Amino acid sequence: MKPPPFTYHRARDVQGAADLVAELGEDAKFLAGGQSLIPMMNFRLARPEHLIDIGRLRELSFVDARADSLRVGSLSTHRAVETADLGAGFAVVRDTMRWIGHLPIRARGTVGGSLAHADATAEWCLLAVLLDADIVVAGSGGRRRTIAAREAFLGFYTTVLEEDELIVEVLFGRPAPHAAVTEFAERKGDFALVSAAVDLDLGAGTVSGGRVALGGVGPAVTRVPEAEQVLQAGGRAGRELFEECAHAAAAAVEPPEDGDAGTEYRKALVRNLVIHACEEAVAR
Amino acid sequence: MTFGAATEGGEREPDLRVDGSWVGAPVTRKEDPRLLTGGAQFVDDIHLPRMLHAAFVRSTVASGRITSVDLSRVLEVPGVVAAFTAEDLHLGDITPRLDRPAEEHTETSMPILARERVRFVGEPVAVVLADDPYAAEDGIEAAEVTYDVTPPVLSEVQALAAGANAVHDEAPGNVLLDVSMFATDGIDDVFAEAPCVVHVRASTGRQNALPLETRGVVAGWDPRAQQLLVQTCTQVPHQVRTALAGSLGMAESAVRVLVPDMGGGFGIKCVVGREEIAVAAAATRVRRPVKWIEDRKDSLSASFLAREQRYDARAAFDETGRILGLDVDVLCDMGAYSCYPFTVGIEPLMASSEMPGVYRVPAYRVRGRAIATNKAPTAPYRGVSRPQHVMVMERLVERAARELGLDPLEVRRRNLITVFPYTGVNNVTYDPGSYLESLNLCERVITDEGWYETKRTAAEQGRFLGIGYACFNERTGYGSDAFAKRKMQAVPGFDISEIRMDTAGSVVVTTGTMSHGQSHETTMAQIVADKLGLPLDKVRIQQGDTDRVTYGWGSFASRSITIGGTAVALAAGNLGGKLVELGAHLLETQRDNVELADEGVRQRDDPSRALSYQDIADVAYLKSHLLPKDTEPGLQASASFDGVGDGTFSNASHGVVVELHRDTGRVEILRYVCVEDCGVAINPQVVDGQARGGIAQGIAGALFEKVTYDDNGEPSAASFLDYKVPTACEIPDVSMHHLETPCLFTDNGAKGAGEGGTIGAPAAVLNAVNDALRPTGVELNDTPITPQQVFDALTGALEVAP
Amino acid sequence: MTEHDKVLLTLQVNGASHEVAVEARRTLADTLRHDLELTGTHVACEHGVCGACTVLVDGDPARSCLMFAAQAEGSEIRTVESLAGDDGTLSDLQRAFSANHGLQCGFCTPGFLMLAEGFLAERPDAGREEIREVVSSNLCRCTGYQTIVDSIQDCAERRRETKETSA
């Protein structure tokens, strides 16, 4: 389980990295924390000819938390976010980090790497989609653009990013004081069988709207408009409403059957985890 | 003296004894300092000049004929030095032998590298040598092998189907072993007339023993010794020497097997691996040392697996819950090859012989079969069959209790063997144990901790708590008589120990056992230190070197402390005798007036007249002219020991409390209680460690680990993402309790302690889960139990047990 | 025979500076073990799950099988070889593992030690459950984990006691 050969490049700045990857073409890849890419290379399931190490681009490693917005640099580690004070509006982001692998993985793995890898259960993808985050990317030739997270993830490990584009930051523009993420996996630290995230619009014990996102139910993390409609219709924040929302979520998805779990079981997990997430979100 | 007092520094007093004895004291381990500092030497830490690195081209198909092997492109890969196929190396096959008639056993062979046919995905076809492991892996990618694929045999149904493809031509029906044993006269009548007959069908998942250190070897010709030096992580160095010399066509004296520090084994390393031999052969061909370190992908998919069994078991009971008869059909999926030295009989013969366990079973019949399939082969794995058949036996007892409306613990009590020695219907004589006492204590701990109350309260809240137990024994210290009943052609049993005292009065003691985590350097030293009145640091244990150890059977079947520990004790005792004799001569008194004391001898009638070992050694080595005329110089002795009768049985009862989470189906273990009896514990801390680690592996089998194959025979688990080894968050703390029924024939009363934890855990966990499922009417008998199954059971999606 | 691209690196390991020329694909684990001959760091899965190869990178526990050596340039690496004193005296953490029988075969032990070393430096006040969660980062097949948790908790408690006494 030794990785195949490649040529190593170390990026000095964001622009240089994007320009270099454009020049080297499709066999080049960015290397950030490497916590997803290197295992795939060790299994020889990924074999890039060139790796552009962006690990030294310290300007991409920041957490800027304000009352009404949160910016996280793409090279910030999960652990850096987990140990940051993000305030009440973004506590959900901090608290979700504990679901990502284990401490040593969180200490190396990066926000941008996780978004770009786009696993169907990735917590960062889930958060970004749930909270309508914007993903800022830099491309070759000085191009920059902002991608709405809800449009970023296309399918299995597939995003709308061009090959020469590098994620520089993720921007959460709306505080989510009543949001929660919950997961179920057979073992601590495993990729979730199903993950559920909710963000409630809550006032005086009443729900007036909200967002629901799921991981592990399809090729990419997804929002569930059917469940959000239930929240939109509103009602007292309590079991009845949450169950209705959860049932709508479960009914709306058709999760895959695989060696770990069948479709019906995953749907049941969706139902129960959405309820848990709602209750946690209210309690926050 | 004091016991276990902690000092300020955080460690226990290193030279601490209990009542003047090392045996029984939780001394800190002699192994620890090097293991804690990175100073240990595992096989992958060995580096030799000009050493090459091996990787194996492995079959990508489960069943087929090799139509071509083209390694020409391999040799063009940068860094690759050589590549060999079976044809290049001309190696003899490994043929494990059982002395059983043809109707019971079909002998098959395992080639070192596949010739003509491949029988499982991952089977080695060629070996590539390169300057480093990266290049070696580049090299195997360049190999071109073509196959004429045949449909693989991947299940019991496929294997036994009429007209099934034969995995081995010699065994057209794919049955490699088929034994029917005991068949008590009138057993059919017993079942026909019994007031209660219960039936359990159970299957258990294919598992990997999974030592953290994978297999590995460094082999090279030693021109000075004119020997092939094979440094390999094996539990059975002498058996590796035999198989390796045989395959290479060398004299055994031309092979030296040396075992470095070993990162676990659990059975997977107590069989001879074909890669060990291929690497040794390749090294002799290129006249350079070669290292092979198995990677995790290969270790998970292409090494040796275990435990895939199917039981069809019936038990007859009277109205009061007494067992009247037991009728079992056990079928073991042994995969593609029989393992050396244990053979394909390892699992079915163990299950057949031991199934009645701790219970009085008046009538017994068993059929045990081993079938061949196109899956990775199997080897013994900690507990061998007992985790499975104890689980089935305990399910039968629980089933009967339900049918009869009795307390399952009461049913156990009515059937446990309480009078010893007891000779069972399986022709096994059980030495004294604490079967009933351990169950009673286990129940008391669970009761006193309030778990029955908690369960009641939880039920009122609509939660699903369950309490389960398992009672079992474990035969340890098999001697050659006991092993001979298996009819293996190589019959393990005895152990030989040699002891030498040096001029400083320190001793070096050999043992034919092979520690791979069990702390022999410490526990064997405790035994010897007691015998000779030595401090621990003056006792050094030597093992794992076929040139220095006369012969050994290694470590497996919880034999090390019983057999090996007694051999070292006897050897030390013999040396003690010599020291007394010599002491008497030097003190000019009668032999029986001299006794061993701390690091020396003294006169019984005048303890002030004493000699240190150093004084005696001084004469034995440096002033031998002072020795009596008929006394040889030097201080050495040896002894051998063989297990007595049917061996000695350790026993234990496990109690488990689980909660089933209705939202997810997760099984959470809330409490785990283990009451064990391994006779005299040489080092209680080590015994606890063996039990706890064993229990973790048992829980792994009950709830997490399973290797499956797709329709093409491709294994599902090539990584730790798919093969779900439990972590600290899934394995509970275990509350340990001890009873002590000393073994009557081992030197210090010790029984084996290596496997018991693993044996009891699946049964106890499964019983607890089924207890929690009681309100649903569902019973689960197949392991591992998945969250989805539990969820389905809780939500009424599963069929209710009849 | 051509060689693949090599990179010339300066690595800071256990307080010393080392120059190595290795293939770019060489992992930090292999570089430590086979180029710097620091074989205390073990390799057991090479896909970042088992944690036997855990070392400290700038104080944080990290899987050295999931890093190329080239990525480690400019960082302070610490391995198990750095824990004991120069005279071989075991550190308090190492002593706690021995006293609590937190190791059997010892193959996973360097990974657990470095995991705990990094974790306790950051969270000296951690309680048993938090320690257990961190211990779940790595795999051990011998101990059943309980005594590993015991060892780390024991070490943490002793450190807190020592701190209180000296305060």
Q: SS3 for B257-311, per residue?
A: EECCECCCCCCCCCCCCHHHHHHHHHHHHHCCCEEEECCHHHHHHCCCEECCEEE
Query: Which residues in chain C have their CB less than 8 angstroms from residue B40's CB?
Result: 40, 106
Among A184, A189, A191, beta carbon nearest to B664: A184
Contact C135 B686 (CB under 8 A): no
Question: Residues B679-703: what's their mean pLDDT?
Answer: 97
- Determine whether the interchain pair B788/A262 forms a contact, defined as Cβ–Cβ distance below 8 Å: yes
The CATH class given to the B383-480+646-794 domain equals alpha beta
Domain identity same for A39 and A83: no
- For residue B306, pLDDT over 70 is answered with yes
Which residues numbered 759-798 in B keep a CB inside 8 Å of some CB on C? none
Q: Residue C127 falls within a domain, yes or no?
A: yes
Q: Residue A172: which H helix or E strand, with range?
A: strand A166-172
Closest-CA residue to B465 (of B658, B670, B654): B658
* Beta carbons within 10 angstroms of residue A132's beta carbon: 16
| Structural domain includes residue A2 | no
Read off the CATH number of the domain in which C13 is found: 3.10.20.30
Cβ within 8 Å of residue A166, ≥6 positions away: A14, A17, A18, A21, A30, A54, A74, A112, A137, A138, A139
Pairing assessment for the beta strands B216-222 and B290-293 based on DSSP bridges: antiparallel
Q: What is the pLDDT of residues B270-295, one digit of tens each?
A: 999 999 999 999 999 999 999 999 99
Q: Judge whether C143 is closer than 8 Å to chain B, CB to CB.
A: yes
**Which of C 39-58 lie inside 8 A of A, CB atoms?**
46-48, 51, 54, 57
B9 falls in which pLDDT band (50, 70, 90)? very low
Which residues 6+ apart lie within 8 Å of B675 measured at CB?
Answer: B438, B439, B441, B442, B445, B652, B653, B654, B655, B737, B738, B739
Q: Kindly state whether residues C118 and C62 are assigned to the same domain.
A: no
Nearest-Å Rg of the Cα atoms of chain B is 28
Where do the H-state alpha helices sit in B358-407?
Answer: 386-404
Q: How far is A225 from chain B, CA to nearest CA, in Å?
A: 23
Q: Say if residue B212's pLDDT is above 60.
A: yes
List of chain A residues whose C-beta atoms are within 8 Å of the C-beta of residue B722? 259
Indicate which CATH number applies to the domain containing A233.
Answer: 3.30.390.50
Q: Is the pLDDT of residue B802 over 90?
A: no
Contacts of B564 (CB under 8 A, 6+ apart): B495, B497, B511, B512, B513, B520, B524, B555
In a domain, A26, yes or no: yes
Residue A195 belongs to domain spanning:
179-283
Share of chain B above pLDDT 70, in %: 98
The answer to whether B79 faces chain A, any CB pair under 8 Å, is no
DSSP one-letter code for B317: E
- Contact list in B for residue C147 (CB cut-off 8 A) is 689, 692
Reduced to 3 states (helix: H, G, I; strand: E, B; else coil), residue B698 is: helix
Does the pLDDT of residue B11 top 50, yes or no? Answer: no
Chain C contact present for A113, CB below 8 A: no
Are C68 and C11 found together in one domain? yes
Residue B490 confidence (pLDDT): 84
Half-sphere exposure at residue C124, Cβ-oriented, CA atoms within 13 angstroms: 8
Partner A contacted by B468 (CB < 8 A)? no
For residues A38 and A8, give the distance between their C-alpha atoms in angstroms, rounded to a whole number. 13
Nearest CA in chain B to A262: B788
Query: Domain check: are A143 and A75 in the same one?
Result: yes
Looking at the structure, tell me whether residues C72 and C107 fall in a common domain.
Answer: no
- Name beta bridge partners: B653: B471, B675
Which of A172, A198, A225 is a domain's end point?
Answer: A172
The answer on A270 and A205 residing in a single domain is yes
- The answer, for A184 touching chain B at a CB cutoff of 8 Å, is yes
Number of domains observed in the structure of chain A: 3
Q: Are B673 and B775 in contact (CB under 8 A)?
A: no
Q: To the nearest whole angstrom, how far is the Cα of B416 from the nearest Cα of chain A?
A: 36
ipTM over 0.95: yes
Q: What is the mean pLDDT of residues C32-42?
A: 98
Per DSSP, A45 falls in state S
- C57 contacts in chain A (CB < 8 Å): 107-108
Q: Do A146 and A88 have their domain in common?
A: yes
Q: What pLDDT band is residue B467 in, cutting at 50, 70 and 90?
A: very high
Give the closest of B138, B722, B788 to A261, CB-based: B788
Which of B395, B411, B408, B383 has the alpha carbon at shortest distance from B473? B383
C60/C35 same-domain check: yes
Q: Is residue A102 part of a domain?
A: yes
Specify whether domain B494-641 bears CATH 3.40.50.10470. no
Q: Least CB-CB distance to B213: which of C49, C80, C107?
A: C107
Whether residue C57 lies inside any domain: the answer is yes
Q: Are B59 and B304 in contact (CB under 8 A)?
A: no
How many whole angstroms separate alpha carbon B270 and alpha carbon B382?
A: 11
The answer to whether A5 faces chain C, any CB pair under 8 Å, is: yes
Contact assessment for residue B336 and residue B119, using Cβ atoms and an 8 Å cutoff: yes
Strand order in the sheet with B464-476: B464-476, B648-660, B667-677, B735-738
Tell me: do C77 and C98 sit in the same domain.
Answer: no
Do B133 and A44 make contact, defined as CB atoms within 8 angstroms? Answer: no
- Domain presence at residue A1: no
Report the distance separating Cα B730 and Cα B696, nearest Å: 9
CA distance B169 to B150: 14
pLDDT in tens, B536-564: 999 999 999 999 999 999 999 899 999 99
Neighbouring subunits of B (3+ Cβ pairs under 8 A) = A, C
A283 touches chain C (CB under 8 A): no
Confidence of residue B438 (pLDDT cuts 50, 70, 90): very high
Question: Closest Cα to residue A274, out of B663, B430, C124?
Answer: B663
Contact B693 C107 (CB under 8 A): no
DSSP state of C80: G
| Cα dihedral across residues C124, C129, C130, C133: positive or negative | positive
Question: Looking at beta carbons, which residues of chain C come within 8 Å of B516?
Answer: 105
CA distance A108 to chain C (A): 7
Inter-chain CB proximity B692 and C37 less than 8 Å = no
- Domain, as residue range, for C66: 6-82
Tell me if A210 is assigned to some domain.
yes
Question: Would you say residue B20 has pLDDT above 90?
Answer: no
Please tell me whether residues A68 and A124 are part of one structural domain: yes
The answer as to whether C56 is a domain residue is yes
Residue B717 is predicted with a pLDDT of 87
Query: Which pLDDT score, from 0 to 100, does residue C164 have?
Result: 87
Candidate from B296, B704, B730 with C-beta closest to A1: B296
Q: Is residue A224 part of a domain?
A: yes
* Secondary structure class of B653 (helix, strand, coil): strand
Neighbour count for residue A236 (Cβ, 10 Å) = 11
Co-location of C75 and C96 in the same domain: no
Q: What is the CATH number of the domain that holds A104?
A: 3.30.465.10
Task: Give the minimum alpha-carbon distance from A49 to chain B in angstroms, rounded to a whole number.
Answer: 14
**Mutation for testing the B interface, residue in C105, C133, C148 having most B CBs under 10 Å:** C105
Q: What's the angle, vertex CA B194, arms to CA B190 and CA B197, rounded to 5?
A: 105
The DSSP bridge pattern shows strands A194-203 and A179-184 to be antiparallel
Does A8 touch chain C if contact means CB atoms closer than 8 Å?
Answer: yes
Task: Note whether C114 and C73 are same-domain residues.
Answer: no
Look over chain B and give the mean of its residue pLDDT values, rounded to a whole number.
Answer: 95
Helices (H) and strands (E) in chain A, counts: 10, 15
3-state secondary structure B740-783: CCCCCCCCCCECCCCCHHHHHHHHHHHHHHHHHCHHHCCCCCCE
pLDDT of residue B7: 35
CATH number, domain at A38?
Answer: 3.30.43.10
Q: Is B654 on the interface with C (CB under 8 A)?
A: no
Q: How confident is the model at residue C3 (pLDDT cuts 50, 70, 90)?
A: low
Q: Is C60 touching A (CB cutoff 8 A)?
A: yes
**C63 and C36 share one domain:** yes
B666 touches chain A (CB under 8 A): yes
Q: Where in chain B is the domain with CATH 3.30.365.10?
A: 383-480+646-794, 494-641
**Candidates B708, B726, B792; nearest CB to A187:** B726
Q: Is the pLDDT of residue C2 over 50?
A: no
Average pLDDT, integer, range C10-23: 98
Q: What is the CA radius of gyration of chain A?
A: 19
Looking at residue A26, its pLDDT comes to 86
Inside any domain, residue C107: yes
Residue stretches of chain A with pLDDT short of 50: none
User: Do A114 and A124 contact (CB within 8 A), yes or no?
Assistant: yes
How many structural domains compose chain C? 2
Element (H, E) at B54: strand B52-58
What SS3 class is residue B468?
A: strand
User: CB B266 to CB C133 under 8 A?
Assistant: no
Q: What is the pLDDT of residues B110-161, one digit of tens each?
A: 999 999 999 999 999 999 999 999 999 999 999 999 999 999 999 999 999 9
Q: Based on the domain organization, do A34 and A75 belong to the same domain?
A: no
Chain B residue numbers with beta carbons less than 8 Å from the beta carbon of A269 are 663-664
Note whether A89 and A109 are same-domain residues.
Answer: yes
Query: Could you say which of C38, C63, C82 is where a domain stops?
Result: C82
For A104, the closest of C4, C47, C51 (CB atoms) is: C51
Q: Does B695 touch chain C (CB under 8 A)?
A: yes
Q: How far apart are CA C139 and CA B235, in angstroms?
A: 22
| Structure letter (DSSP) for residue B712 | T
- In chain A, which residues have their Cβ closer than 8 Å to the Cβ of B708? 259
Q: Which of chain A's residues have a Cβ under 8 Å away from the Cβ of C46?
A: 1-2, 39, 42
Chain B (9-68) residues lying within 8 Å, Cβ to Cβ, of chain C: 9-12, 28-29, 31-33, 35-42, 44-45, 47
